[in-house]
Amino acid sequence: MHCYYHRDVVAVATCRNCCRGLCEACTAEVQKMSACRGRCEGDVAAVQALLARSDTAFATAARQLRIAALICVLFAGLFVLLSRRMPFATATWLLLPAAFVLLIGAALLVLNARRYGTRPPSA
């Protein structure tokens, strides 16, 4: 492959933004990634910043899913308590299935939180 800007020079890198071949003179290193000098450096830096934030977003998502699961369990417990104290049988038949659905939802949230928590680190 030859440099996109200098057709007679062999490329030594590929731009991470536009995928063009680059020679030594045209290559700019942006956080260990190659970019077109003066053209794609800002875009590659922006992508790197997004990748860095995505790692923290996964950890935050796992924590938020666990909190949501705890809230579901608390509401399920509240529904079970209310169903025991209600004088109407209809309320019992409505609250107990709702509590069961909330417990299933909490279990699914915990499973998803584990998936987010065990995300392999990006290279």
What is the pTM assigned to this prediction? 0.57
Report the distance separating Cα 36 and Cα 18, nearest Å.
8
Amino acid at 98: A
The backbone region for 19, taken as left when phi is positive above 0, alpha when psi lies in -120 to 50, beta otherwise, is left
pLDDT at site 123: 45
- Percent with pLDDT over 90 in the chain: 59
Q: End-to-end CA distance of the chain: give it in Å, rounded.
A: 26
Report, as an integer, the average pLDDT of 82-90.
Answer: 82
